[in-house]
Amino acid sequence: MRNEHKRRILGGALLAMTLGLGAANLQAQEGRKALSNPAPTYPEVAKRLRLTGVVKVQVVIGADGRIKEKNVIGGHPILVSAVEDTLKNWKYAPASGETTTQLEFNFRP
């Protein structure tokens, strides 16, 4: 049952975001439309260090559309910090309950 639940969540609620050269590509998620989803700013220190990578975060979106919980799955701490700061400004359409999804952010110069 647990694997089925994981597949349902990952298959139906996967939200991918690609950040590259200031552009973001956002895929719609199951029933929760993103109303405000600014792309994370590429940190200056990461640019100077030529740091690239992927940040994966599992989030719980509350019924009010705000991100209620964040669980970092992986990524360089400098890039993770940029993502966490940005997620404070994300807002989804309200729903009758919470939604859990995984977000992925790719940082490349």
Domain regions of the chain by residue span: 2-107
Note whether 53 and 107 are within 8 A (CB).
Answer: yes
Summarised one tens digit per residue, pLDDT across range 75-91 is 999 999 999 999 999 99
Query: If we measure between CA atoms, which residue out of 78, 71, 26 comes closest to residue 52?
Result: 78
2-107, what's its fold? TolA/TonB C-terminal domain (3.30.2420)
Note whether 39 and 24 are within 8 A (CB).
Answer: yes
Look at the pTM and tell me if it is higher than 0.85. no
The DSSP secondary-structure symbol of 40 reads P
Summarised one tens digit per residue, pLDDT across range 38-53 is 999 999 999 999 999 9
